[in-house]
Copies of this chain bind each other. A is one copy, B any other.
Amino acid sequence: MIETFGEIDPPQRLLMGPGPVNAHPRVLRAMSADLLGQFDPEMTAYMNEVMALYRPVFGTNNRWTFLVDGTARAGIEAALVSLVAPGDTVLVVNFGRFGLLLTEILGRIGARIETVEAPWGETVPLDAVAAAIERYGPKLVATIHGDTSTTMAQPLDGFGALCAAAGALSYVDATATIGGMEIAADRWGVDVVTGGLQKCLGGPSGSAPITISDRAATHIQRRKHVERGIRRDDIDDGDGLRIGSNYFDLAMVMDYWSEKRLNHHTEATTMLYGSRECARIMLQEGVEARYARHRASGAAMTAGLRAMGLTVFGDDRYRMTNVTAAFIPNGVDAETVRRRMREDFEIEIGTAFGPLAGKVWRFGAMGYNAMKHKVLLTLAALEAVLRAEGVVLPAGEAVPAALAAWDATR
């Protein structure tokens, strides 16, 4: 007898860590629609709608705005492997774990990697970026918008222009901020931006929205190499070095998303339905209102944690609005607190990586969870757990402080 386990039945848990977070119910409902053939006219119409819906999400008019079929990390690798050839010099603007991830991916591509860094908890000043560009002459400058490992958001106004002036392309990983903090691909002048659904867009992991400037698209298409099994007279190979991945070959993926509809992978239809609904919800709320809601949630969480006597990590000027790290009080077992939060309150809060591992908890308020009541419930629960664990703290201060901050920010 083969074990088939029970029906899927996860606990109703409130996910207040750095992501993934709970999906908006509308997104999950949209994903229950039945499938379509990948070249059926209704399917290709949905693909075109997704392209249109994600342009305002990215703050862009880029024609090439679509989905990579994989998690946010797939979007990052697709961007880098399509933009960078072995031996190209790439400057990584690194201020946390996800900056390191860029170097790890680039190393496998065979790039020459240079970095300009900030300590965890800070960001990299634009003049340091400019100096590094001048020093290294990179073909690409790559960075992270919000790095959840440090809770810092790199200021990006002027970033793209700086790169373009030096003849470099620019890439930003916006996985942790898209849908929660403003992404302004065009105003930033950035060539390629990628994201994911599982944080501020309020969907499940597994689809990576991407936007590509015409300049970068031209660069990528020069590296096009059409599979022998599907060659057509109307589509030529480029004269550039073939992209090192087939799945992540954005030149081919663009042909799939264009009127050419050249077969590549089989589009992940259900994830596309979900991605579409994430963007619809965001645009119906209004992008400004949505960013304001995340700002208010983050301000409330921060104020509540501080009112509880906890010390918030990182430079206030550059903290992400949607995730907040607080130092674990001395003498407290961090994992016991996380377990009691989960078991007694069905609330998940986050651990940390690298230099912050064991030092801070991370509290997210993202997407469908960037709401007043969810922040207040998290703070009330945390206060109760910390008191039960013997932490001496001001009783009953966190919730009113959070409420006041919420109201002041709205």
What is the interface of chain A, defined by CB distance below 8 A to chain B?
2-5, 7-13, 15, 17, 19-23, 28-38, 40, 42-43, 46, 49, 52-53, 56, 69-74, 77, 81, 96-98, 100-101, 103-105, 107-109, 149, 196, 198, 204-207, 225, 227-230, 242-248, 263-271, 273-274, 276-277, 279-280, 283-284, 342, 348, 353-354
Contacts and interface: CB of A to CB of B under 8 A. Distances in A.
B8 A22 contact: no
Contacts of A52: 3, 5
A100 B229 contact: yes
Given A13-B40, A206-B271, A227-B100, A247 B73 contact: yes
Given A2-B56, A37-B348, A229 B149 contact: yes
A354 B268 CA distance: 24
A367 B204 CA distance: 25
A100 B226 CA distance: 12
A100 B266 contact: no
Contacts of A5: 49, 52-53, 276, 280
Contacts of A10: 33-36, 42-43, 46
Contact of A77 (B104, B245, B283): B245
Contacts of A229: 96-98, 100-101, 104, 149, 353-354
Contacts of A38: 20
A71 B69 contact: yes
Contacts of A34: 10, 12-13, 22-23, 28
A15 B77 CA distance: 33
Nearest to A40: B348
A234 to B, nearest CB: 14
B36 A15 contact: yes
A356 B353 CA distance: 53
B104 A19 contact: no
Given A15-B35, A69-B206, A198-B269, 20 more contacts: A8-B277, A10-B33, A28-B32, A31-B32, A31-B270, A72-B265, A73-B247, A101-B227, A103-B228, A104-B228, A108-B243, A108-B244, A109-B244, A204-B270, A205-B265, A205-B270, A206-B207, A245-B245, A247-B248, A270-B274
Contacts of A20: 35, 37-38, 266, 269
B17 A37 contact: yes
Nearest to A78: B247
Contacts of A277: 8
Given A230-B354, A353-B263, A4 B242 contact: no
B32 A74 contact: no
Contacts of A101: 227, 229, 246
A354 B23 CA distance: 42
Contacts of A196: 266
Contacts of A9: 33
A245 B109 CA distance: 7
A100 B72 CA distance: 29
B270 A23 contact: yes
A207 B43 CA distance: 19
A228 B355 CA distance: 11
Contacts of A32: 28-29, 31-32
Nearest to A269: B204
A4 B348 contact: no
Contact of A246 (B37, B77, B263): B77
Contacts of A12: 34
B37 A205 contact: no
Contact of A227 (B35, B104, B243): B104
